Amino acid sequence: MATDKAYKVLAMAQGISNSKAKELIDKGIVYVEDKKVKIARADLSVDTIFRIEYPEKIEILYQDEDIIAINKPAQVDSYDIQDAINGAVLLHRLDKDTSGVLLLGKNEAFVARAITEFKARRVEKHYVAWVEGVVFEKMEIDEPIFTIKKGKAFSMIDPLRGKNAHTLVSPEEIQGKKSKVRIEIRTGRTHQIRVHLAHVGHPVIGDEQYGSRTQAKRVLLHSSQIKLLDYEFNATEPKDVAKYK
């Protein structure tokens, strides 16, 4: 059976350039049946049938002269959204796999005010997620997090080197051995929710990096609400989070 590099097979199948095919694989939106193609140089059969799942259109929740609130689709990088909106600056960021409320500032004075609020922990951030295992009572996770940022960021619980991190988890729904939970974070460490939930034995579904054994098209985590200064923004849960199939 003839094989070739995944990006070359995809390029031929789609009638696109090799570089464009590699870019699509690197963005994490190329699938063979239900499995994501993760390595552009992996060998695949030249007869492989691909499926490309383009991200949903980016929805603007609200904007005025100071701020723009986006309902970020999963599989879109926060910085790509910043680049797409002329003159806007990210006030925070969401992991590529995480969907939901993402805020950008539209002028220097407001950006400075907003960043002060984030640093002072006066911003309310609420999330919803599906996790492994049965969660039937509220949890408060207060474990310091240390992040290694060489290459792909990786965080861990580390009492000596870690920075203070605080996460509140409330159960909402149980389906078999999976649970839907609501989360509030008072701090904004890299991968905080994912690391804290994994630490208590309930990794977010689809989060292979932190120990989920359940395959999913993405990490099932959604930023549902943010309150900043006098603003409050809410993002409707996408289908994959609203109901676990």
DSSP per residue, 11-31: HHHHT--HHHHHHHHHTT-EE
For residue 146, give both structure tokens. 């240390």
CATH of the domain at 21: 3.10.290.10
**CATH number of the structural domain spanning residue 220:** 3.30.2350.10
Q: For residue range 85-140, list pLDDT tens digits in order.
A: 878 999 999 998 999 999 999 999 999 999 999 999 999 999 999 999 999 999 99
Give the range of the structural domain holding residue 41, as residue numbers without chain letter. 3-52
Structural domains of the chain, count: 2
Q: Are residues 43 and 119 in the same domain?
A: no
Confidence of residue 178 (pLDDT cuts 50, 70, 90): very high
Q: Percent of the chain at pLDDT above 70?
A: 98
Rounded Cα distance between 224 and 99, Å, is: 9
Does residue 217 or residue 229 have the better pLDDT? 229
Q: Is residue 26 predicted with pLDDT exceeding 90?
A: no
Site of tokens 């054994």: 213
Residue 84 pLDDT exceeds 70: yes
Supply the pTM of this predicted model: 0.79
3-state secondary structure 76-139: CCHHHHHHHCCCCEECCCCCCCCEEEEEEECCHHHHHHHHHHHHCCCCEEEEEEEEECCCCCCE
Residues 164 and 198 in one domain: yes
- Is 79 or 180 the better-scoring residue by pLDDT? 180
Q: How remote is the C-alpha of 129 from its chain's centroid?
A: 11
Catalytically active residues are 95
Distance, in Å, from the CA atom of 196 to the CA atom of 213, rounded to the nearest integer, reads: 17
Q: How high is the pLDDT of residue 217?
A: 86
Q: Please indicate, yes or no, whether residues 100 and 45 belong to a single structural domain of this protein.
A: no
- Give the model's pLDDT for residue 55: 66
